[in-house]
Amino acid sequence: MAKETGLGWTTLSVDDASGTPANLKDDVTNFQFATPRGVQDVTPVSKSAYQRLLLLADMSITLNFVFDDAVADSVHAVLKTVPSTSVNRTTSLAVSGQTLAAEMLYTDYTYTRAADGSFTGSAPGVLADGTVPTWA
């Protein structure tokens, strides 16, 4: 078994509003994603421990980035339309030969100008189309 770090992501792309994928890995400083499953408690009164059923699959992501509007496929160029468009955006992550891609709806596009002068942003996304997120 070979354990690995989170270094060397080969893909971190998000579609722009027209459906063209853009490589954002040079603007994104960190991100978090989750692929949770819902659960239903079906424990009868005859049990002394929980009994549960797995329900729907989901996915969420939050991209954190620095402001960059210098190139056509920068994070700003891709995500500035989040407030004005309602489109699914294919989001693809790849590391160590493993890829996770899903249709996401980005729900916000925010920036913070901190007291030290740094200008950073974030964009949360949620699963859009009912397709179970699956690593390939």
Residue ranges per domain, the chain? Answer: 11-40+50-127
pLDDT, tens digit, 9 for 90 and up, residues 3-52: 889 888 999 999 999 999 999 999 999 999 999 999 999 999 999 999 99
The rounded distance, in Å, linking the Cα atoms of 25 and 23 is 6
For the chain, first and last CA: distance in Å?
19
pTM for the model stands at 0.91
Neighbours of 127 (CB within 10 A): 21
Which phi and psi angles does 23 have, rounded to 5°?
A: -80, 110
* CA distances for 60 relative to 68, 91, 106, angstroms: 24, 11, 9
- What is the per-residue pLDDT for 71? 85
Fold of 11-40+50-127: Elongation Factor Tu (Ef-tu); domain 3 (2.40.30)
d(CA 121, CA 111): 4
> In the structure, what pLDDT confidence band is assigned to residue 1 with cuts at 50, 70 and 90?
low
